[in-house]
């Protein structure tokens, strides 16, 4: 797929010595803040891959599932100048938990911060004052591990950054599923949320990735890119 569509793939991986389930510690202040821990490590991997393969740095995207989706939230917030956009798949909002116990509470929607409090976590993560990444949100309505209400929390976190309303501008049907789109002040779509009955299994995740490649992020207008019509991408 990468060869067919002309992009490079980077797969950061957790080590079992750091997490027995091989999940990113997306809630840990030592790993989810700018220039520290895993967030810094992933940023350095992106920089190395971009330089090594001659990729367009204005067209780098981030995605992940579950703990990876929550880590995607953190990466978009801590390094918004690095990523043109990202897909948060069955994830959680950036900054909503800072301990292992609170992480499990937030997964069950207990004590979840609301509205502008969530937005403040993103604003405070980097000191960024430029354009924010496009965000695509995917969450299964039947998801049992990360409660579906987390999708709404993520949706509520990003619109103020884009100058978009919390409610979608319109809803359209994509392959039989409802897609909610909110437009921001910048060109292109700012917030894109798609609900599916279930995204728990790996095949569903793979199918989502295919749809992202074919349908979602980099076919939309990109920031500060003057490259030819068929640039190379990193994800």
66 as an active site residue: the answer is: yes
Residue 177 and residue 164: Cα distance in Å, rounded? 22
Collapsing DSSP to helix, strand or coil, 34 comes out as coil
Collapsing DSSP to helix, strand or coil, 141 comes out as coil
Helix 67-78 and helix 115-123, axial crossing angle in degrees, nearest 10: 60
Q: Which of 66, 73, 74, 136 is catalytic?
A: 66
Three-class secondary structure assignment of 114-140: CHHHHHHHHHCCCCCCCCCCEEEEEEE
Residue in this structure with the two tokens 């980097």, named with its chain if needed: 126
Residue 222 and residue 218: Cα distance in Å, rounded? 7
| Radius of gyration in angstroms for the set of CA atoms belonging to the chain, rounded to a whole number | 16
What is the CB neighbour count within 10 angstroms for residue 60? Answer: 26
Collapsing DSSP to helix, strand or coil, 86 comes out as strand
Collapsing DSSP to helix, strand or coil, 174 comes out as strand
Q: What angle do CA 221, 137, 28 make, to 5 degrees?
A: 115
Paired sense of beta strands 7-8 and 233-234, if any: parallel
Which active-site residues does the annotation give?
66
């Amino acid at each position: 797929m990468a060869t067919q569509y002309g992009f490079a793939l980077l797969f950061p991986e957790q080590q079992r010595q750091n997490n027995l389930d091989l999940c990113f510690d997306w809630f840990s202040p030592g790993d989810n803040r700018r220039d520290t821990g895993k967030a810094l490590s992933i940023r350095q991997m992106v920089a190395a891959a971009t330089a090594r393969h001659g990729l367009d740095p204005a067209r780098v995207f981030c995605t992940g599932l579950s703990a990876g989706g929550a880590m995607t939230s953190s990466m978009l917030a801590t390094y918004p100048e690095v990523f043109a956009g990202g897909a948060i798949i069955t994830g959680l909002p950036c900054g909503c938990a800072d301990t292992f116990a609170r992480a499990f509470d937030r997964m069950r929607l207990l004590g979840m911060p609301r509205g502008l409090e969530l937005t403040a976590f993103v604003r405070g993560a980097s000191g960024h004052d430029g354009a924010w990444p496009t965000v695509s949100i995917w969450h299964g309505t039947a998801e049992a591990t990360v409660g579906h209400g987390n999708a709404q929390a993520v949706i509520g976190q990003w619109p103020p950054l884009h100058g978009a309303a919390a409610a979608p501008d319109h809803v359209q049907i994509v392959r039989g599923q409802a897609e909610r789109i909110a437009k921001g002040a910048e060109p292109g779509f700012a917030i894109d949320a798609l609900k599916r009955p279930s995204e728990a299994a790996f095949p569903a995740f793979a199918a989502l990735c295919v749809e992202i490649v074919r349908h979602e992020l980099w076919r939309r207008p990109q920031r500060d890119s003057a490259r030819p019509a068929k640039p190379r991408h990193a994800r």
